[in-house]
Chains A and B, each alone.
Chain A
């Protein structure tokens, strides 16, 4: 690059560091956003919610049926809020979110168990938030067995049925894909980075313009490339700090497995940070003021969350939405990190999601340099 000066570049970087250090609010945001999001999402992910409101439709009045209901209660996961009698009522309750589960106990349950017919016990679950119901659902089969064991004691022990006397069917409604909890922590990593990196860097240049210091900067021999890239460095470190926070929480609080190498994860993270920062700084060359930069960021943030596979399963989206999603760095980052953390993917498997990030960065950087205002015009 013609006339690029490392000493100027370092000067710009140092200045940004100092300013950032003095900007309490931004600094608070850097730590606050990951912590807050981890808390919010984290509790939904893994807090193993108990006492979920449950309705029971019982067509059988045997002590076995009562024992099953008691077992549900005792597991701690289910809180029986009401017994209802009609299917329509059950449907209304679950649709409106009054209850999370509806347990259907069929007619002649006890008799059919004794006959070894393996009657079906249907559990409807509101799986809108699959992580909220996952543990409760997995507790079910145990409950059935315990209840039966309790009933068939003494002289009835002889009748003690087959090892698996009940056919427990869970009907997951509203979210059949059942995104697992582990999917969310890596996703959170990408979302936090997207939000803070684009936003903070988006403000970096517009702040200079709004405060009038841009005129001074422009009057010096500093070059656009030096300014743009020099301003990135402090934010890269901040991004890495955020990532470390999330990874630590993922490991120690949420026990997310870590299949791939930490080094590979950081390498991918670095690439993703760079892509987001480039976008941020390009936004800030386009925006006239901080408000505009903020608006641009949110304009970008929304599709990133919706179309990247963070919120909804990527494969479930219509074709055009997948095409759009593939243009977003977050989409590729999610695949990369999920691949690395959960599957331990190898480098060659990662490449299809690495080059789009590189391409994105180059294109955006070129646009940023193109629109960087060299004058006050």
Chain B
């Protein structure tokens, strides 16, 4: 793969805050037109990594390029071509919707500013409320406005930090549809999220915990790599069962999923034996299932938390 095909290509990025090592030797490559999911528990360094990619933070060490521009030296060029949506709402609450978008358009020196802003408002479905102050929007609408703002200047790479946090399901679906359309046009997207369904909609994923990149690849390959075996159990008295399972050989984690319980472990045989013992004289129904991304991520997270 030639470098020209990579929208993001960084190696060994490190970042410290004081003596806290927040991002450790992060290497990432995101292809052109790819939707790349960025997952990890709270405080794992996702936002910090994204900020380093768009020049808002200077890495302590490491190197790489973003859209072909050096992430250390060429931050001005990167800023012009990247659309960054912050995790926390960072547009101006005392400007109205149009003024916010207009300001952003000016910052990027856009021609035909008026039309671009009109279009964005129209797409958002907020044209009628354009005179409303951004601070008066509901949380979900703020997210959607911020998203529209960071796409306004038609960037070639989008860095989205939890863009759909607090957004309703319909809007989320629209958002992902739009993202896939953009990707089809060759725009690359790095998106951080805590939602598993969103993770599954990404072409590839990276999972980071406590600054370490623990897994990356397609959802299927990540699940594959972890070699987990998972059982789903349904029936009565699941809470008591969960108590019982705790600490049994082979059982690494027990996660309630609605009316079922997922029991996951790395040691397939030990887990199967434990399950067999419990299943013998009980009314619950046991079923071996494919582990999902969530099972894998929880396993990864607990694995690093212990170490």
What are 6 A-B contacts defined by CB distance under 8 Å? Answer: A10-B106, A14-B103, A19-B92, A214-B90, A215-B86, A376-B57
Q: Across the interface, do A377 and B58 meet the contact criterion of CB distance under 8 Å?
A: yes
Residues of A within 8 A of B104 (CB): 220
What is the 8 Å Cβ interface bit string for chain A, positions 19-59, against chain B (1 contact, 0 not)?
10011000000000000000000000000000000000000
**Among the listed A7, A18, A375, which residue makes an inter-chain contact with B57, where contact means beta carbons less than 8 Å apart?**
A375
Would you give the shortest CB distance from A225 to chain B, in whole angstroms?
Answer: 13
A222 to B103, CA, bound (A): 11
A84 to B13, CA, bound (A): 87
Q: Across the interface, do A215 and B107 meet the contact criterion of CB distance under 8 Å?
A: no
Q: Across the interface, do B107 and A221 meet the contact criterion of CB distance under 8 Å?
A: yes
Residues of B within 8 A of A377 (CB): 57-58
Confirm or deny: B95 has a beta carbon within 8 angstroms of a beta carbon on chain A: yes
Binding site for B on A (CB under 8 A): 3, 5, 7-8, 10-11, 14-15, 18-19, 22-23, 211-222, 374-377
Residues of B within 8 A of A215 (CB): 56, 86, 88, 90
Confirm or deny: B203 has a beta carbon within 8 angstroms of a beta carbon on chain A: no
Confirm or deny: B54 has a beta carbon within 8 angstroms of a beta carbon on chain A: yes
Binding site for A on B (CB under 8 A): 51, 54-58, 75-76, 79-80, 82, 84, 86, 88-95, 99, 102-104, 106-109, 133
A166 to B221, CA, bound (A): 112
Residues of A within 8 A of B90 (CB): 211-216
**Among the listed B51, B80, B93, B99, which residue makes an inter-chain contact with A15, where contact means beta carbons less than 8 Å apart?**
B99
A14 to B106, CA, bound (A): 10
A211 to B92, CA, bound (A): 8
A221-B79 contact, Cβ under 8 Å, with A7-B106, A8-B109: yes
Chain A facing B: main interface SS: helix
Residues of B within 8 A of A375 (CB): 55-58
Q: Across the interface, do A11 and B107 meet the contact criterion of CB distance under 8 Å?
A: yes
Would you give the shortest CB distance from A167 to chain B, in whole angstroms?
Answer: 68
Residues of A within 8 A of B109 (CB): 5, 7-8, 221
Residues of A within 8 A of B133 (CB): 22
A14 to B103, CA, bound (A): 8
Contacts A8-B107, A211-B93, A220-B79 supplied; 18 other A-B pairs, CB < 8 Å? A3-B76, A7-B106, A14-B103, A14-B106, A18-B95, A213-B90, A213-B91, A213-B92, A214-B90, A215-B56, A216-B90, A220-B104, A221-B76, A221-B79, A222-B107, A375-B56, A375-B58, A376-B51
Q: Across the interface, do A22 and B89 meet the contact criterion of CB distance under 8 Å?
A: no
Residues of B within 8 A of A218 (CB): 56
A23-B58 contact, Cβ under 8 Å, with A212-B89, A220-B104, A221-B108: no
Residues of B within 8 A of A213 (CB): 90-92
A219-B54 contact, Cβ under 8 Å, with A8-B109, A15-B103: yes
Would you give the shortest CB distance from A323 to chain B, in whole angstroms?
Answer: 40
A225 to B92, CA, bound (A): 20
Residues of B within 8 A of A11 (CB): 102-103, 106-107
Residues of A within 8 A of B57 (CB): 375-377
A23 to B92, CA, bound (A): 13
Query: Which 4 residue pairs are nearest across A and B when measured between Cβ atoms?
Result: A11-B106, A220-B107, A216-B90, A219-B84
Would you give the shortest CB distance from A230 to chain B, in whole angstroms?
Answer: 10
A214 to B88, CA, bound (A): 12
Q: Across the interface, do A216 and B108 meet the contact criterion of CB distance under 8 Å?
A: no
Would you give the shortest CB distance from A16 to chain B, in whole angstroms?
Answer: 10
A131 to B91, CA, bound (A): 52
Residues of A within 8 A of B95 (CB): 15, 18-19
Closest to A222 in B: B107
A268 to B86, CA, bound (A): 44
Closest to B159 in A: A219
A184 to B10, CA, bound (A): 64
Residues of B within 8 A of A217 (CB): 107
Q: Across the interface, do B108 and A220 meet the contact criterion of CB distance under 8 Å?
A: yes
A374 to B133, CA, bound (A): 28
